[in-house]
């Protein structure tokens, strides 16, 4: 009987000490999680910012290469997709894809595709790129210069950063 009682006490103490050890470990994990604070508004997210700049470079390269399928693949078309351009009413996925395929499909040469005052702002898995465009595109013999204010809204997906909204408006010309 004494052996059974000793064995039961040893097992109970073992369970008690193991349970306390797990409890201390859980408390330590909770403290560690509390110390990690993410400020979606003010944090810079440098890795994501770099990914977005690389995505922008790939978008530009797809335009220069005339690879419309690759250009379209940078968009996340859905019922939520929205675009404003040229003071016209908002349009969605179908109109955006049609416009991009028809317009950029007709470009015969990308003479210049520069951005000025570019800003990349990351808010976790959402980001926007804003800039003033200085695009010089040839359509046959005709040169078209596009000086717009552009905002592109991106969402980080399993397939990389994708455009979910575009806004283009004419950039006011400065008086000389």
Picking from 66, 84, 64, 62, the residue whose alpha carbon sits closest to that of residue 74 is 62
Instruction: Tell me how far apart the alpha carbons of residues 174 and 176 are, in angstroms, rounded to a whole number.
Output: 6
Structure tokens at 52: 């977005």
Picking from 146, 163, 153, 167, the residue whose alpha carbon sits closest to that of residue 85 is 167
The pLDDT, as a whole number, for residue 36 is: 76
The pLDDT, as a whole number, for residue 91 is: 97
Q: What is the pLDDT of residues 39-70, one digit of tens each?
A: 999 999 999 999 999 999 999 999 999 999 99
Q: What is the mean pLDDT of residues 149-173?
A: 96
Picking from 46, 44, 75, the residue whose alpha carbon sits closest to that of residue 59 is 75
Q: Does domain 46-170 have CATH number 3.30.70.380?
A: no
Q: Hunting for tokens 């003071």 — which residue is that?
A: 87
Q: Are 126 and 153 in contact (CB under 8 A)?
A: yes
Mean pLDDT of the chain: 88
H or E element at residue 143? strand 142-146
The pLDDT, as a whole number, for residue 112 is: 97
In DSSP terms, 95 is beta-bridged to none
Question: 105 in helix, strand or coil?
Answer: helix
Q: What percent of the chain has pLDDT over 70?
A: 80
171 versus 173: the higher-pLDDT residue is 171
Question: 173 in helix, strand or coil?
Answer: coil
pLDDT at 11 over 90: no
The pLDDT, as a whole number, for residue 10 is: 64
Give residue 50's Cα distance to chain centre: 11
């Amino acid at each position: 009987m004494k052996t059974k009682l000793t064995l039961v006490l040893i097992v109970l103490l073992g369970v008690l000490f193991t349970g306390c050890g797990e409890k201390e470990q859980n408390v330590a994990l909770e403290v560690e999680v509390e110390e990690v604070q993410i400020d979606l508004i003010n944090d810079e997210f440098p890795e994501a910012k770099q990914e977005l700049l690389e995505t922008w470079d790939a978008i530009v390269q797809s335009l220069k290469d005339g690879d419309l399928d690759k250009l379209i693949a940078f968009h996340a078309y859905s019922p939520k997709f929205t675009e404003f351009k040229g003071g016209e009413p908002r349009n969605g996925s179908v109109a955006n894809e049609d416009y991009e395929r028809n317009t950029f499909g007709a470009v015969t040469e990308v003479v210049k595709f520069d951005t000025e005052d570019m800003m990349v702002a990351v808010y976790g898995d959402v980001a926007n790129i804003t800039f003033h465009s200085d695009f010089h595109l040839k359509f046959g013999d005709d040169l078209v210069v596009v000086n717009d204010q552009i905002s592109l809204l991106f969402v980080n997906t399993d397939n990389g950063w994708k455009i979910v909204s575009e806004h283009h408006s004419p950039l006011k010309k400065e008086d000389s």
